[in-house]
Structure 1
Amino acid sequence: MTEYHADDYGLFPEQSRHIIDCYHTGALNGISIMPNSPYLSACMDEIKDIKDKLLITAHLNFVEGKPITGSNASRLTNAAGNFDIGFLKLLIISYIPVIRLFYKKQLATEIKAQLKACEPYMNNGEFRIDGHVHYHMIPVVFDALMDVLGAEDYKVSYIRFPKEVLGVYLKAFGKVKDIKPINVVKSLILNVLSARNERKYGEELRRMGVKSKLFMGVMLSGHMFYENVMACLPYLGDVLADKGESEVELLFHPGDVSVPEDIKCLTSKDDYEFLTSANREKEAKALKKLGSNLKR
């Protein structure tokens, strides 16, 4: 099964409508929902008639907006109370004894609150989990997540491990036009972090019944355009065949933030640049074209 997935559902109403339109007119069959968004409940009400047809995932967020736990997440926020802790900073903190414990405690408290916010919307009473900008792969964050999952005895069917098969892009070299050097670095880092988390928690995850699947979406992050995806799919299919697997998650970001009032509410500079980019519309068009292909 191919999962055509969109992150960031529920961030804003209009932005979320742009995402779900890719289900009605395209290939979209999975969404990740923003736990700390004040619009989450209203946005989920908008899709209550099709919710069971979508793979819904809790999108743990330490980047955009305010934490659910407020001042209890003070190490993760700025003076305005908005999330403001960089990926690299948390990665470094992950390997600093004692200090990491203070951050891990606040992360665990916020993760518990975010999972609780998403719980009513999980299908079949089972959690699927990933993270905004893949923060959930940072060791101190993943360790905190595993502590919460163990303590709360949640049923979890899936956790995204954003491991790119780099050979796919080598084979598609010359056909893919939008691989940026920063995305190569991100892919390498996330591959290493994914391997670390699987190595440390593999047995526990298997015991919990947690599955992962092949993944594509970091190397072309921001540029999951139709032509790029189609150039890679044959080689990705070869990898699936070689591994004897049948499931892959393709990650898109079709939810552009275009309403002026919503744009003003974005708290992350990186999210501002990413979510207001015209590339969001191009990724939406990719999902719609892929949907047309599936209907043939």
Structure 2
Amino acid sequence: MSEPSLILRLSRYGAVGGTAALVHTTALLSLERVAPLWLANPLAFLMASIAGYIGHALVTFREETGGRRFARRWLLLQYAVNLAVCALLPLLLGNWMPMPLRTAVLVFTPTLLNALIWSRAARFSAKARQQQNGQPPLLHADDLGLAEGVDSAIIVLAQSGLLQGASLLVNGPSAANAVEAWRDLTDPPPLTLHVCLTEGHGLPHCPDLPTGFSSLLVASLLPWQRRRIAPQLRTVLLEQFSSYRQLTGLRHIRLDGHQHIHLVPLVLDAVLDLSRSESITWVRTTLEALPEGLSLRLWWRSIKTGGFIKWLILQLLSGLAIPRLRRAGLHTNRRFAGVLFSGSMYGEAFRHCWITAHSPKRIHRALRPVVLIHPAQRHAAAGMDQEAFQQSAAFFNSSNRQKEWTSAQQLLES
């Protein structure tokens, strides 16, 4: 569909804006009868914002949206910006400006801001629609080697061609058997080293190494902690690099981290220092776009399970890591999905994340977006060393791993 002319676009924008203004006026006159003005006006403005939100998506920018609504966050942004501007602008202008000019600024500043917000929302929607018809992401599974139920699910997905990679937990109790099963695949996808620092390594000569993501993150900010921990961290990494090579026979190392621990600055420093001597070629990052069309139920799931907080932290850490990886000559994926719904990548959440992770054009495999799942068959924790992996025991014992496995099969086979 061709882009409409500027005159047509402006006429549409004016029609929707006029309708929203009418909604605001009607709602305000009605609400003033039952509520004070300070409450009636924001409520009336919210109704007008909703009218504009729907109208601009379905009418003004329908070529970009395909007749679908914008993501709800654009409504929240527009409403918050306009309330702030309407509250602060009169205070900033004061009485020094001539009344006609002051009135024009008060009227047209929100109008211009709204035009910018809805135009940006339209471009975002157009890009999302283009991505949906582009190159699909790579489906990747973590924790190969953790337990037989996990290994079996990953092997089945790889055998059926649904999986494009897996991360090997070299200190997992079933790592050796998992690698043998991986080798028996007709066309095995690439294996990645799943660096594990927070649990499972049990090295007595590294007593000061923190056993938690937050502990390592705090240690990254404290110079004396960095100096104390760095040698022990290097020891653990070298041992896992050695185990990975012994198990797989691979010389070059693709790397990610259990609980994304490799993105903590202190750990990333060690990885970059060892990248040349240990032939590290690729490191996973977790720069994840927020999917469109998520229901309030799914947003609540992400918030309740801690996924949204993880997303915020890992967005920051990935943003810091990507330039460093590029300067070191290491490849990384351009986008990612799997943190926002960490531990619950199934059903509609998985489907929305999968669609959002598509690339608008074909790119090199090393740069392609990655969608992460943690699949397992029933009784996934059977044979797992739960004492060594205490931090992850709740997720390992939940049914969510089976749901992720089922969702991946259903969506990717459809």
Deviation at 1:129, TM superposition (A): 0.5
Equivalent residue number for residue 279 of structure 2: 154
State the structure with more CA Rg: 2
Amino acid at match of 2:148: P
2:169 to 34, 56, 68: 34
Q: For the structure 1 residues 41 and 122, does the alpha-carbon distance in structure 2 shift closer, same or farther, using more than 3 Å as the test?
A: closer
Equivalent residue number for residue 79 of structure 1: none
Cα distance per residue 1:88-117 (max 9 Å; x no partner):
111111111122112111111111111111
Distance, in Å, in 1 between the alignment partners of 2:219 and 2:378 is: 32
Q: Secondary structure at the residue paired with 1:165?
A: coil
Distance, in Å, in 2 between the alignment partners of 1:257 and 1:101 is: 44
Amino acid at match of 2:180: D
Asked whether the equivalents of residues 8 and 34 of structure 1 are also in contact (C-alpha less than 8 Å), the reply is yes
Asked whether the equivalents of residues 257 and 263 of structure 1 are also in contact (C-alpha less than 8 Å), the reply is no
Q: For the structure 1 residues 262 and 244, does the alpha-carbon distance in structure 2 shift closer, same or farther, using more than 3 Å as the test?
A: closer
Deviation at 1:248, TM superposition (A): 1.4
Equivalent residue number for residue 44 of structure 2: none
Amino acid at match of 1:180: I
Q: For the structure 1 residues 231 and 200, does the alpha-carbon distance in structure 2 shift closer, same or farther, using more than 3 Å as the test?
A: closer
Deviation at 1:266, TM superposition (A): 4.0
Higher relative contact order (Cα pairs below 8 Å, separated by 6+ residues): 1
Q: For the structure 1 residues 186 and 50, does the alpha-carbon distance in structure 2 shift closer, same or farther, using more than 3 Å as the test?
A: same
Equivalent residue number for residue 223 of structure 1: 344
| Structure 2 unaligned spans of 5+ | 1-135
Asked whether the equivalents of residues 308 and 340 of structure 2 are also in contact (C-alpha less than 8 Å), the reply is yes
Q: Which moved more, 1:264-273 or 1:40-49?
A: 264-273
Q: Secondary structure at the residue paired with 2:321?
A: helix
Cα distance per residue 1:226-246 (max 9 Å; x no partner):
322223444433xx3289888
Q: For the structure 1 residues 263 and 124, does the alpha-carbon distance in structure 2 shift closer, same or farther, using more than 3 Å as the test?
A: closer
Cα distance per residue 1:104-145 (max 9 Å; x no partner):
111111111111111245587431100000011111111111
Equivalent residue number for residue 81 of structure 1: none
Amino acid at match of 2:258: H
Asked whether the equivalents of residues 285 and 332 of structure 2 are also in contact (C-alpha less than 8 Å), the reply is no
Mapping of residues 68-217 of structure 1, within 5 Å: 70-76=203-209, 85-120=211-246, 125-150=251-276, 152-156=277-281, 158-166=282-290, 168=291, 171-174=292-295, 177=298, 178-181=301-304, 182-204=306-328, 206=329, 209-217=330-338
Q: Secondary structure at the residue paired with 1:219?
A: coil
Amino acid at match of 1:105: P
Count of matched residue positions in the alignment of Structure 1 and Structure 2 = 274
Amino acid at match of 1:42: N
Asked whether the equivalents of residues 141 and 375 of structure 2 are also in contact (C-alpha less than 8 Å), the reply is yes
Amino acid at match of 1:191: Q
Distance, in Å, in 1 between the alignment partners of 2:173 and 2:283 is: 24
Q: Secondary structure at the residue paired with 1:5?
A: strand
| Structure 1 unaligned spans of 5+ | 77-83
Asked whether the equivalents of residues 26 and 291 of structure 1 are also in contact (C-alpha less than 8 Å), the reply is no
Deviation at 1:173, TM superposition (A): 2.7
Q: Secondary structure at the residue paired with 2:204?
A: helix
2:181 to 43, 46, 49: 46
Deviation at 1:16, TM superposition (A): 1.1
Asked whether the equivalents of residues 30 and 54 of structure 1 are also in contact (C-alpha less than 8 Å), the reply is yes
Task: Supply the RMSD in Å over aligned alpha carbons.
Answer: 2.7
Q: For the structure 1 residues 286 and 13, does the alpha-carbon distance in structure 2 shift closer, same or farther, using more than 3 Å as the test?
A: same
Asked whether the equivalents of residues 126 and 155 of structure 1 are also in contact (C-alpha less than 8 Å), the reply is yes
Find out whether 1:292 has 2:409 as its counterpart: no
Asked whether the equivalents of residues 159 and 185 of structure 2 are also in contact (C-alpha less than 8 Å), the reply is no
Distance, in Å, in 2 between the alignment partners of 1:210 and 1:203 is: 10
Instruction: Give the alignment's TM-score, normalised by structure 1.
Output: 0.82
Q: Secondary structure at the residue paired with 1:72?
A: coil
Cα distance per residue 1:183-211 (max 9 Å; x no partner):
1111111111112222344311x2xx423
Q: For the structure 1 residues 74 and 51, does the alpha-carbon distance in structure 2 shift closer, same or farther, using more than 3 Å as the test?
A: farther
Distance, in Å, in 2 between the alignment partners of 1:235 and 1:52 is: 28
Asked whether the equivalents of residues 44 and 121 of structure 1 are also in contact (C-alpha less than 8 Å), the reply is yes
Amino acid at match of 2:344: H
Q: For the structure 1 residues 29 and 260, does the alpha-carbon distance in structure 2 shift closer, same or farther, using more than 3 Å as the test?
A: closer
Amino acid at match of 1:142: L
Amino acid at match of 1:64: E
Amino acid at match of 2:289: V
Distance, in Å, in 2 between the alignment partners of 1:98 and 1:34 is: 30
